[in-house]
Amino acid sequence: MQSMQNLVQVEECLAFVRSKLGRNAGPYPVGLILGTGLGDVTGDLEWQLPFAELPHFPVSSAESHAGFLAATTLSGVPVLVQSGRCHLFEGFSPAEICMGVRVMHGLGVQILVVTNAAGALNPAFEAGRLMLICDQVNLTGVSPLTGINRETWGLRFPDMSEVFDVRLRALAQTTAISLGIALERGVYVGVHGPELETPAETRLYRALGCDAIGMSSVLEIISAKHLGMRILGLSCLTNKNLPDCMAPVTIEDILASSRRAAGDLERLLLAMLPAMVA
């Protein structure tokens, strides 16, 4: 039976990172995964290791994903940054997609902030805004927990009744209000991709109670929950899906909207971080 819980590969990657960094290898209390068009939310990097240099680490083919693991200090808080990610539609396995989450956990990350670019399904949501992910639906058809369970990481059947940390969500909402940032709240649905959704699919996802859609994050979040991390999810809404008047969307449009939202994302995270680890 094939296992998606790649313990040996993660341990070998961790050993390499620690050998490269020595005393600079952590621990880092907060991890940050930066999605499409959000790679500039990093501050001044203390060290940086390209994915291509890390044993067993997948390298994304997406031009909008920088592809490195790095450390920075934001608002006085040590943060581990995964800039870029891999996707199922590129041909990667769930284990490869979750490699970064598991490596960050090994470097001491206890709080994981997952960001992504997503299309708005809720007609009340506007492109260019942020959405706080309150729950998720995994429609990729796979799980990173398939196969033999690694008890050192987590339980065979992890509870998913509260995926996103309630205190972190409340902190995000109060911080956004104080900064004057419009922060929507909703359910994120993750799909396989790479094709964008049809009008009929848009109606289906909306009928399921989903507010935003993307091709990433759900597997990383399942893996993080399995590892016992506290999770905060934030989507940058890049386009508005209205099934009765669907407009063509290009990757250039998505990147432009992501960059517009990136400024608010950075302001929100910088203001939140000290309280997140307090």
Q: For the chain, percent helix, then strand, then coil, each to nearest 5? A: 35, 25, 40
Confidence class for position 8, pLDDT limits 50, 70, 90: very high
Q: What is the CATH number of the domain that holds 186?
A: 3.40.50.1580
Q: Tokens 């302001």 map to which residue? A: 267
Give the whole-angstrom CA distance, residue 33 versus residue 126. Answer: 23
pTM attached to this predicted model: 0.93
Q: 3-class SS at 46?
A: strand
Q: How many CB atoms lie within 10 A of CB 263?
A: 12
Give the whole-angstrom CA distance, residue 143 versus residue 219. Answer: 6
Domain that holds residue 215: 30-36+44-148+159-276
Do the domain assignments include residue 57?
A: yes
CA separation, residue 195 to residues 103, 192, 249 (Å): 30, 9, 11
Do the domain assignments include residue 21?
A: no
Spatial CB neighbours of 19, under 8 Å, sequence gap ≥ 6: none
Among 145, 146, 10, 6, which Cα is nearest to 69's? 10
**pLDDT given for residue 37 in this prediction:** 61
Among 46, 47, 52, 42, which Cα is nearest to 20's? 47
| Residue pLDDT, tens place only, 95-135 | 999 999 999 999 999 999 999 999 999 999 998 899 999 99
Q: DSSP string of 224-247?
A: HHHTT-EEEEEEEEEEE--GGG--
Do the domain assignments include residue 214?
A: yes
**How many domains does the chain contain in total?**
1
| Residue pLDDT, tens place only, 168-191 | 999 999 999 999 999 999 999 999
Do the domain assignments include residue 263?
A: yes
Q: What is the DSSP letter of 243?
A: G
Among 258, 118, 94, which Cα is nearest to 202's? 118
Helix (H), strand (E) counts: the chain: 7, 9
Do the domain assignments include residue 255?
A: yes
| Residue pLDDT, tens place only, 49-66 | 999 999 999 998 766 556
Do the domain assignments include residue 153?
A: no
Give 140 or 20, the one with higher predicted confidence. Answer: 140
Do the domain assignments include residue 2?
A: no
Do the domain assignments include residue 86?
A: yes
Give the whole-angstrom CA distance, residue 8 versus residue 47. Answer: 25
**pLDDT given for residue 1 in this prediction:** 41
Give the whole-angstrom CA distance, residue 176 versus residue 174. Answer: 5
C-alpha torsion 261→264→270→276, nearest 10: -80
